[in-house]
Structure 1
Amino acid sequence: MNRTTPPARTPSRTYLLAIAGLAAVIAVLTLAFSSWPRTSSTASNAAAHMSRQGHQGVADGVVPDGVTVFDDATPAVTRLDPELLKALRRAATAAADDGVAFQVNSGWRSPSYQNRLLREAVSKYGSEDEAARWVATAETSPHVSGDAVDIGRSAATAWLSEHGAGHGLCQIYENEPWHYELRPEATDHGCPRKYADPTQDPRTRQ
């Protein structure tokens, strides 16, 4: 008896359509993954862009929200003059008994950050002379030397206005009720007379 070879089975139309659809999906996924940005590359590009734009960060003295005088990680606080920082922490401890917290809006600043703030002030106020009433140069600013701190919240500045001298902490400029510096003699003799603004401070005329 002769054996006959069974006829080859022809793939169904449904099967062929499924194979074609799967191939199309694979092609789309391959294209998507090949053009997907790599995380490290994106981060590097962002960092390079930030550098080109001259942006400063926490390391330059930028203060994140919620920082207090007791912070031990933020350079704007830790790079303040040690005696100023001690006085601030003593005052903040006393203020806490009255339900008042000291928030740091600005403290130590790098020269590049100070220069950036000055450029922004010139743009905001329209001239270098007017900007100088609010922002000193990097060469003369007590923030750059770590000798000044800007305290946030009106309750804190009001408390310092009344009690700061007892801790050697004084408001220096009439137009900046948030700006405090250490004047140790104030504990016995009171704070010195305020300057109208930084342009009246001999230190800024160097």
Structure 2
Amino acid sequence: MRTLLGVGMIALVVAIVAPLGYRSMQTPSGSTASPAPVTPSSAEAPEPAEPAESPQRKRSGPVGEADGVVPEGTTVFDDGVPAVAGLDAALRTALREAATDAAAYGIDIRVNSGWRSPAYQDRLLRDAIGKYGSEEEAARWVATAETSPHVSGDAVDLGESDATMWLAEHGAAYGLCPVYRNEPWHYELRTEAIGGRCPPMYADPTQDPRMQS
């Protein structure tokens, strides 16, 4: 009798405890860890490189006094004018000596053109080509920037007509010589002429060996 009662009590305990143990083994609802949310990367994407600036095209603007354009009434004593200041020093000295002596005879030597920048010389050559219709004909009057003695400061165009006439007679004493027969106003320094005579003139610049380089 006691044995049956004991077995019954054990069965009753098992019946009560078993469901509780089964429930404790289950994972509570919602306790399953959800995957960590994917967060955007904190590293910013590199910004595209800015395009390099295109090089500026060189443009030739208008030429002016700084390029050798001569204001009206300029004399060989006007150091403030680049066309005069840019002349070779020996040429400028000879011009001033001649101008001082010419003034005693009422002769006023003016500078119509002296030193020129390459840009100014190029401009004059383009104008001459337009005027004379071809490079060949223009070359009789205007040299290139690479060969022009104006660009190097070794030539000067003088006026007025009475001044060039006076220099044609007396210029050799100062080493000042006309170089081209078609340009009686174009003078250069020829020191070997001092005390003697100027060398023979070329018909025009195309006959000058210096223009062939």
Which residue does the alignment assign to 2:191? 184
Which residue does the alignment assign to 1:144? 151
Contact 2:173–2:196 (Cα < 8 Å) also in 1: no
Which residue does the alignment assign to 2:78? 71
Structure that is richer in helix per residue: 1
Query: 2: distance between equivalents of 1:106 and 1:181?
Result: 12
List per-residue Cα deviations over 1:59-86 (Å, max 9, x = no partner). Answer: 0000010100010100000110000000
Secondary structure of the residue aligned to 2:158 is: strand
Q: Which one-letter code corresponds to 2:118 in the other structure?
A: P
Secondary structure of the residue aligned to 1:55 is: coil
Cα shift at 1:53: 6.5
1:156 correspondence with 2:149: no
- 1:1-206 to 2 correspondence within 5 Å? 54-206=61-213
Contact 2:60–2:119 (Cα < 8 Å) also in 1: no
Q: Which one-letter code corresponds to 2:115 in the other structure?
A: W
Indicate the RMSD between aligned Cα atoms, in angstroms: 1.1
**Structure 1 unaligned residues grouped into runs of 5+:** 1-50
TM-score, normalised with respect to structure 1: 0.74
| Segments ≥4 residues shifted beyond 3 Å | none
Secondary structure of the residue aligned to 1:177 is: strand
Secondary structure of the residue aligned to 2:195 is: helix
Larger Cα-atom Rg: 2
Q: Identity percentage over the alignment?
A: 69
Secondary structure of the residue aligned to 2:112 is: strand
Cα shift at 1:52: 5.8
Cα shift at 1:156: 0.4
Contact 2:159–2:185 (Cα < 8 Å) also in 1: yes
Q: How many residues align?
A: 156
Query: 2: distance between equivalents of 1:177 and 1:161?
Result: 8
Query: 2: distance between equivalents of 1:137 and 1:190?
Result: 29
